[in-house]
Amino acid sequence: MKELLHKVAYLQGLADGLELEDSKEGRLIKEILSVLDLMTDYIGAIDDQVEDMEDYLESIDSDRADVEDEVFDVDDDEDDDMVDVECPNCHEQVCFDASILYDDDLIEVTCPNCGAVVFVNDEEDDEELEEDEEEE
C-alpha cells in the first residue's frame, strides 16, 4: 500500500513540474491524479477493513476450537465402556476397557503405578464380577 501511495505522490510531483495547469491537458492530468488519490484512500480503507476482518476471523476460529474441545472431547473416566478397579497393592484407581471382560484370550491388567495385577479375565473373575454387579 505504501508503494502505491508513493507512486501517486511521485506522479503528482511530475505533473506539478510540467506546469500544464492552464491547458486542457493539465486539467485532465490534474483530475486523473485526483481520482488516483481518491482510489488510494479507498484501497487503504479496504486494506484496513481486511486486516480487521482477519483478526476477527482468527478470534472466532479460536473460540470455535475451544467450543469444539468442550463438546467433542470426552474424558475416558466418563465413558460407559470403561471399568474402574482399585489396586490391591497401592489402592490407586485403575481404569480399563470393558471389552477386556469378555475377551477370549487371557488378559492381565496391571496397575500403572506399582505394576501389581489388578484384573485377570479368566472365568473365575468373570463369575465374581457378575455376582458383584448383581449385588449392586
Q: Where along the chain do its domains lie?
A: 2-72, 77-135
Distance CA 91, CA 119 (A): 13
The larger pLDDT score, comparing residue 41 to residue 74, is at 41
Question: Among 17-21, 84-88, 120-124, 130-134, which range has the highest average pLDDT?
Answer: 84-88
Task: Give the three cell numbers for residue 79.
Answer: 465413558
**Residue 13 amino acid letter:** G
Q: Please write the tens of the pLDDT for every residue from 43-70.
A: 999 999 999 999 999 999 999 988 988 8
14-52 core/surface letters (b: 16 or more CB in 10 A; e: else): ebeeeeeeeeeeeeebeeebeebeeebeeeeeeeeeeee
Model pLDDT, residue 130: 52
Distance CA 123, CA 106 (A): 10
- What does pTM read for this prediction? 0.43
Model pLDDT, residue 76: 42
